[in-house]
């Protein structure tokens, strides 16, 4: 009789299958645990890493985008453990320069640190002071000592009449203030030096005498005041001091007053104006001074800017009159 063999299911394959299933289950558990750890790392605080990361790619400051530090093998979106939240990248305060590993990387050095350096003050020539619109508030119109004193001031020189006026002042032992045009001072340095040598003082009266001076743009006003000062100082020589600035036509405002103050000069006005520049006649010049002058006053006259023969003639009458009236001569307040 033919006997059909009986098929057996040996135990070892069953044990192998069981072991295989356990191994697979264990791998799945480990993989799940690793995945949870990776997700927790990406979404939470970044753990310290001992390996050096690739150069930081930083979005422009102020965009609010996260800073991503990709590692080899990470995708372009920066997903997975390599994704660094923006909170982990220190911000450099505007206007400061921070050193150390957090801010000296390739991207930060060219960004926040570079921006900080560009905001630092430039060395060399100081920047022009900012504009200060509004009316002037500190224009001087009196003498330094007050009382029965008077300050003589002469504008628009040095010019052909300056020497004659200096001769008259020396005759009466009078000291005065000369408000000089920058280009005239540069053209007549000998007269500037004589003014200083005889004990008189200097005042800045702009480079070109533009009017209305108070309407000048800020940069133009800076040039007219600062360049004139430089020209007068150069003409006067070492040690030349300029204590005042007088705006052409009295065109003061807060801006040019602020510019002058930044250069160490007070703004100088006047209290008596005989309008000698218009050549109204010697009697008119004399009578205006005599009627308008009060103790402590500042008289405005001119030694340049045109024919000043009437001014010289009027001064020949005014100087002895002032002396007989008991006035002494002073400089403007400062």
Is 112 contained in some domain? no
Each residue of 262-277: pLDDT tens digit?
Answer: 999 999 999 999 999 9
d(CA 153, CA 302): 8
Each residue of 88-111: pLDDT tens digit?
Answer: 333 333 333 333 333 333 333 333
Is 90 contained in some domain? no
- Using the 8-state DSSP alphabet, how is residue 214 labeled? G
Is 273 contained in some domain? yes
Q: Are 183 and 207 in contact (CB under 8 A)?
A: yes
Is 234 contained in some domain? yes
Least confident span in 32-46, 66-80, 148-162: 66-80
Q: Are 273 and 285 in contact (CB under 8 A)?
A: no
Is 311 contained in some domain? yes
Is 142 contained in some domain? no
pLDDT in the model for residue 137: 74
Of the CA atoms within 13 Å of residue 3, those in its CB half-sphere come to 3
Is 54 contained in some domain? no
pLDDT at 285 over 50: yes
pLDDT at 10 over 80: no
- Average pLDDT of the chain, as a whole number: 75
CA-nearest of 206, 303, 302, 208 to 263 is: 206
- Whole-angstrom CA distances from 63 to 59, 66, 165, 325 are 7, 9, 69, 76
| Catalytic hit among 276, 302, 303, 330 | 302
The boundaries of the domain holding residue 184 are: 156-329
| Catalytic hit among 155, 204, 303, 330 | 155
pLDDT at 36 over 80: no
List own/partner pairs for 80-85 with CB under 8 A and 24 or more apart: 80/38, 80/42, 81/38, 81/41, 81/42, 83/42, 84/46, 85/45, 85/46
Confidence of residue 23 (pLDDT cuts 50, 70, 90): low
Q: Is 167 a catalytic residue?
A: no
Is 189 contained in some domain? yes
Q: Are 114 and 62 in contact (CB under 8 A)?
A: no
206: left (phi over 0), alpha (psi -120 to 50) or beta: left
The CATH number of the domain holding residue 195 is 3.20.20.370
β pairing state of 149-157 and 177-180: parallel
Each residue of 245-263: pLDDT tens digit?
Answer: 999 999 999 999 999 999 9
Question: E strands along 158-259, which residues?
Answer: 177-180, 201-204, 242-245
Q: Is 209 a catalytic residue?
A: no
**Total structural domains within the chain:** 1
pLDDT at 60 over 70: no
pLDDT at 188 over 50: yes
């Amino acid at each position: 009789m033919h006997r059909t063999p009986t098929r057996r299911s040996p135990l070892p394959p069953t044990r192998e299958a069981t072991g295989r299933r356990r191994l697979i289950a264990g791998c799945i558990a480990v993989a799940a645990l690793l995945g949870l750890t990776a997700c927790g790392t990406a979404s939470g605080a970044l753990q310290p890493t001992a390996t050096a990361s690739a150069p930081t790619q930083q979005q422009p400051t102020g965009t609010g985008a996260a800073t991503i530090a990709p590692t080899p093998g990470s995708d372009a979106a920066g997903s997975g453990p390599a994704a660094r939240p923006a909170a982990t990248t220190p911000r450099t305060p505007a206007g400061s320069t921070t050193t150390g590993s957090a801010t000296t990387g390739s991207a930060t050095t060219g960004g926040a640190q570079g921006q900080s350096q560009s905001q630092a003050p430039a060395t060399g020539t100081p920047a022009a002071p900012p504009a200060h619109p509004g009316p002037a508030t500190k224009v001087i119109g009196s003498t330094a000592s007050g009382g029965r004193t008077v300050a003589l001031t002469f504008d628009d020189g040095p010019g052909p009449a300056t020497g004659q006026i200096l001769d008259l002042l020396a005759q009466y032992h009078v000291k005065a203030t000369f408000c000089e045009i920058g280009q005239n001072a540069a053209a007549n340095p000998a007269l500037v030096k004589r003014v200083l040598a005889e004990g008189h003082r200097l005042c800045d009266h702009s480079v070109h005498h533009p009017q209305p001076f108070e309407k000048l743009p800020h940069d133009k006003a800076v040039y007219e005041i600062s360049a004139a000062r430089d020209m007068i100082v150069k003409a006067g020589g070492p040690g030349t001091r300029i204590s005042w600035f007088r705006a052409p036509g009295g065109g003061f405002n807060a801006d040019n007053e602020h510019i002058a103050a930044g250069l160490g000069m007070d703004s100088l006005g006047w209290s008596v104006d005989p309008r000698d520049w218009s050549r109204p006649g010697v009697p008119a010049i004399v009578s205006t001074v005599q009627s308008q002058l009060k103790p402590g006053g500042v008289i405005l006259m001119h030694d340049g800017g045109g024919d000043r023969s009437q001014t010289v003639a009027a001064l020949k009458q005014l100087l002895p009159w002032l002396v007989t009236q008991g006035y002494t001569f002073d400089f403007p307040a400062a």
